[in-house]
Structure 1
Amino acid sequence: METMTKSDIGLRSERGPILLAVMVATGVVAIDATIISTAVTSITDDIGGFPQFPWLFSVYLLAQSVTVPVYSKLADTIGRKRVILFGIAVFLLGSILCGVAWDMPSLIAFRAVQGIGAGAILPITITIIGDIYSLEERARVQGYVASVWAVAAVAGPTLGGLFAGWDLWRGIFLINIPLCLIAFWLLARDYHERLEPRRHRIDYAGAVLMTGAFTLLLLGVLEGGNAWEWASPPSFAVFGGGVVLLVAFVLVERRAAEPVLPLWVLTRPLLRATNLVGLAVGAALIGLTAFVPTYLVIGLGVSPLVAGLALATLTIGWPISAALSGRLYLRIGFRSTAVIGATLVVLGVAALAVFGLTPSVWMVALLSFVIGLGFGFAAVPTLVAAQSSVGWDERGVVTGVSMFSRSIGQSIGAAILGAVANAVIAGLGGDEGDPGTIIRASDAVFVGAAIIAVLLLVGAVSMPRERRAPASDPVPPATDPIPEVG
């Protein structure tokens, strides 16, 4: 395939249908991450199970997170197309099952099915972009994909509220059916890979041990302090079992012919730095998205809609800087661009913490926009740098580990920052409805997020210095040869 000009990278190019399919598939997962939040009351009023509703979020995140590395390795062995089509099909099945759920336990189980499908969609779509677009083009295309998340941040809660208001909460899940079918059809029709017969030894033992280990560890992080006390027998059992399986996993991977998660991913300096950035981005992001709306709604008494719009400026800033980052890293390099982005995040979150005790909707909106700009300048260059440092047969694993790091960061951040907020609330008398109490608790969370942002900056600074990025590079063939499992 010949190198394409900038005008050829949009939806009208020959790669346009693939990009459209990637955006639709990403949009389905992005909307599903937020659409259910405004319909919890409608769901529990219909099928009950209010005490268990947090599992609708936890089990989805857990299933998605632990399957990402497995799918990413499979994408490097049997090809991207098979994996993402399987993921879309599973997500579609999970959505249909959620739409017919008869009680809370069944809905939770079907949300897990959705998460298993989502675990394939997110990393593989980003890997496909790395395959078919050149270094110069990737940031702009990543900006398109990031804009999907920006739209979903607003559209998800709005659609959820509409379905809940019409007492049609099942439509939240059934709306995924046409979107999944469109994405599946476009990828099946337009995305082609050339297969070269080659036998592989799939690391089944490693996949099982890794999934089990991370399932237990993430479960312990997500439910610690909620379902059970941190210092309790269930907590010790869950974390202990996770550590035992993790040790067994490492031992197996050292001897595996083709490990599901090669240990070199954790030893290369560039990948260590980019994964640290992903970890910090996930932790800081969950702190803001989880606490800013509560901070504004209870602390200032604004409507949930106004609070959501204030936070939405973060998701507006992110795709803007993601699209602009390509021009910047081609001039000054990946590391310098990431450092600029991380610095913006540190300044924005620190300012949010400084002014947190005197809340203002406009202040929050402005600082959220600055933080979003920082995330875009930090996250995209580090991801592109990681992808560009490896060949086709390692790109899926590298992309998957990057996404997995961000998911781990979200889980750890939610646990740590949630514990900080609960400690402050308990110290002030435990009144979760008191504006002053919530303002102080949220401000403590912002301080914690600022510390995490410093960790983000450390990750960006620790990236190896690279030569100036080339002005452009050839577009990788859309039909890169990939091996076939024998």
Structure 2
Amino acid sequence: MGEGKEFLTFRQRNSGITKRPYVLATVMLAMFMAAIEATIVATAMPAIVAELEDFSLYSWVFSSYLLMNAVTVLIYGKLSDIFGRKPVLTVGIVIFLIGSILCGLASSMEWLIFARFVQGFGAGAVMPIASTIVGDIYTKEERAKIQGYLSSVWGISAIMGPAIGGLLVEFVSWRFVFWINVPLGILAIIGLYLFLHEEIEKSKPKIDYVGAFLLTLFVTTFMFILVEGGVRWDWLSGPIVSLALLSLLSLVIFVFYERKVDDPMMPFELWRERSILIANLTSLTTGIILIGLSTFLPTFVQGVMEEKPIIAGLTLTTMSIGWPIAATISGKAILSIGFRTTSILGGVSLILGSIVFTILSGSDSPLLAAFGSFLIGIGMGLTTTAFIVSIQSTVSWNTRGVATATNMFMRNVGSTVGAALLGGILNSQLLAFYSSKGVEDEMNLDSTTMLLDDQQRNELTAQARSLLQEGLEIALNDVYWVVFGFAVLSFLFILFLPKKQKADV
């Protein structure tokens, strides 16, 4: 894409005044804030749902956050191409912190879900713009190395997140897993204004509000169908059919509208590049894998294996340790064996990791769960780093923000759909199990929350506890078979990546 001169001009203007090491540190701090949130919340969720109750809304805590994250990530990417990275990232962090404070004040699951909407609205700016800043101030060869540094944030947060989360849940309160974001966000904002200097030529903003609305409508209605279908409403009921029609209609209108509008929120011409198309489709499927692991593994380890929250958190830690290790290797491998071969190796690791979870049982050691988690982390590290470096090397500066955001948008959509889809499968399979055992009148979805609290679990009769654990284990195994299917699909997508990559523009 022939706008390299503008990119070079921007770099030349900023190379003398932007302090790259300090900017990198600031970007890593902002990413750490978002990364540690993921590991802490997943660890604390069993304690949260045990206090606030209503297990049927469990997946909505993740879906609400991911929905707003997915929808806003493209808008933030577009705005950063217009107004610059610093002001847009700052606004995102501020909104994220407001949402975090509200989450910590939640007195019901409904309140928590609303607060997660706010938090997700701000989080949409953090990851894509942080990665875009790195693409702005480093060359292609440097990016491969620096992306490894950025991915190391996940390893650090993985080690600290579950440990801190487990300690806060056991000795203080789960509310502090949200409030811990506040000092981190404030430091990140200070760092941005001290060290990142931009000279952006201001232009009249053209924001695709219609496209944003249509996309929000599509993702929201589709998520409702996946979460509530077969649980609150029958699959062929009036509400589900109506939502399905509305979802399909909004998607069709969105695609046609984006193709005709002058400055679309999702520029489809980017998708004409084969490497970008395959990277985005694979990010969609790996997003489902990622949320399937991070959302439901702690529930399996605590509810079925009867381990403590900190142990459940540590099984997730191995994923986030494997991720930065693989990302660092990926940064070097891209330059030697190419981004396609690197991605294929990542796809194989995703399949192997998902196989582990399909055979996991309550009698197994948490170490087996941790091993499967580590393999998933290796797969994510190899693929995501290769995708980001490839995409940022294919486009120019004035589209790098939206191009990076589009890839992360697809992963977020995958996670959003995955949280809803897998949550719906879990709920429907639990209900089917209770019905098959003839205990649907005595047990419901909220009964599962008793397994997630040591005191409540110990008060159950041996028969009731065994029945609840059997149902939860069967339902979660079904969830992980679906995850395995998406791992296979991810690998098949990767095989279609082009063997040669375009030169850096």
The TM-score with structure 1 as length reference comes to 0.84
Alignment of 1:2-151 (within 5 A): 14-39=19-44, 55-100=60-105, 105-151=110-156
Instruction: Measure, in 2, the Cα distance between the counterparts of 1:361 and 1:101.
Output: 31
Q: State how many pairs are aligned.
A: 461
- RMSD, matched Cα: 3.2
- The yes-or-no answer on 1:284 pairing with 2:284 is no
Q: Which residue of 2 aligns with 1:235?
A: 240
Deviations 1:388-436 (A, max 9, x none): 1111111111111111111222233334444554565535637865444
Deviation at 1:209, TM superposition (A): 2.6
Instruction: Measure, in 1, the Cα distance between the counterparts of 2:52 and 2:297.
Output: 30
Alignment of 1:209-220 (within 5 A): 209-220=214-225
Do the aligned residues in 1 keep the contact of 2:77 with 2:405 (CA within 8 Å)?
yes
Instruction: Measure, in 2, the Cα distance between the counterparts of 1:439 and 1:47.
Output: 23
Q: Which residue of 2 aligns with 1:398?
A: 403
Query: Structure 2, unaligned stretches of length 5 or more?
Result: 1-6, 9-17, 449-464
Q: Which residue of 1 aligns with 2:358?
A: 353
Deviations 1:252-289 (A, max 9, x none): 22221111111223443222200121012111122223
Instruction: Measure, in 1, the Cα distance between the counterparts of 2:422 and 2:107.
Output: 34
Which piece of structure 1 moves more, 400-409 or 164-173? Answer: 164-173
Q: Which residue of 1 aligns with 2:338?
A: 333
Q: Which residue of 1 aligns with 2:15?
A: none
Do the aligned residues in 1 keep the contact of 2:342 with 2:383 (CA within 8 Å)?
yes
Alignment-mate amino acid for residue 321 of structure 1:
A
Deviations 1:316-354 (A, max 9, x none): 111101011111110111111101111122233235435
Q: Which residue of 2 aligns with 1:481?
A: none
Instruction: Measure, in 2, the Cα distance between the counterparts of 1:421 and 1:106.
Output: 23
Q: Which residue of 1 aligns with 2:456?
A: none
Q: Which residue of 1 aligns with 2:3?
A: none
Q: Which residue of 1 aligns with 2:315?
A: 310
Deviations 1:355-412 (A, max 9, x none): 6697343333333323321221122102211221111111111111111111222233
Q: 1:443 aligns with which of 459, 472, 477?
A: 477
Which piece of structure 1 moves more, 230-239 or 329-338? Answer: 230-239
Which piece of structure 1 moves more, 65-74 or 360-369? Answer: 360-369
Q: Which residue of 2 aligns with 1:8?
A: none
Deviation at 1:112, TM superposition (A): 1.7
* DSSP-derived class of the 2:200 partner: strand
Cα 1:293–1:202 shift into 2, 3 Å:
closer
**Structure with greater helix share of residues:** 2
Query: Structure 1, unaligned stretches of length 5 or more?
Result: 3-12, 477-486
Alignment-mate amino acid for residue 269 of structure 1:
R
Deviations 1:146-198 (A, max 9, x none): 23223333433443444444554543333222211110111112112221244
Q: 2:276 aligns with which of 271, 278, 297?
A: 271
Do the aligned residues in 2 keep the contact of 1:85 with 1:188 (CA within 8 Å)?
no
Alignment-mate amino acid for residue 71 of structure 1:
Y
Instruction: Measure, in 2, the Cα distance between the counterparts of 1:297 and 1:125.
Output: 34
Instruction: Measure, in 1, the Cα distance between the counterparts of 2:352 and 2:50.
Output: 43
Instruction: Measure, in 1, the Cα distance between the counterparts of 2:139 and 2:90.
Output: 24
Deviations 1:282-318 (A, max 9, x none): 1112222334334444444443433332332121111
Cα 1:354–1:464 shift into 2, 3 Å:
same
Instruction: Measure, in 2, the Cα distance between the counterparts of 1:257 and 1:67.
Output: 20
Deviation at 1:125, TM superposition (A): 0.9
Instruction: Measure, in 2, the Cα distance between the counterparts of 1:130 and 1:237.
Output: 43
Instruction: Measure, in 1, the Cα distance between the counterparts of 2:415 and 2:489.
Output: 14
Q: Which residue of 1 aligns with 2:491?
A: 457
Cα 1:395–1:311 shift into 2, 3 Å:
same
* DSSP-derived class of the 1:194 partner: coil
Do the aligned residues in 2 keep the contact of 1:56 with 1:111 (CA within 8 Å)?
yes
Cα 1:203–1:305 shift into 2, 3 Å:
closer
Instruction: Measure, in 2, the Cα distance between the counterparts of 1:102 and 1:423.
Output: 27
* DSSP-derived class of the 1:193 partner: coil
Deviation at 1:64, TM superposition (A): 1.4
Instruction: Measure, in 2, the Cα distance between the counterparts of 1:316 and 1:411.
Output: 23
Alignment-mate amino acid for residue 109 of structure 1:
F
Cα 1:136–1:89 shift into 2, 3 Å:
same
Q: Which residue of 2 aligns with 1:323?
A: 328
Which piece of structure 1 moves more, 221-230 or 373-382? Answer: 221-230
- The yes-or-no answer on 1:152 pairing with 2:152 is no
Q: What percentage of residue pairs aligned between the two structures are identical? A: 39
Cα 1:423–1:112 shift into 2, 3 Å:
closer
Do the aligned residues in 2 keep the contact of 1:55 with 1:108 (CA within 8 Å)?
yes
* DSSP-derived class of the 1:110 partner: helix
Do the aligned residues in 2 keep the contact of 1:299 with 1:359 (CA within 8 Å)?
no
* DSSP-derived class of the 1:274 partner: helix
Do the aligned residues in 1 keep the contact of 2:345 with 2:382 (CA within 8 Å)?
yes
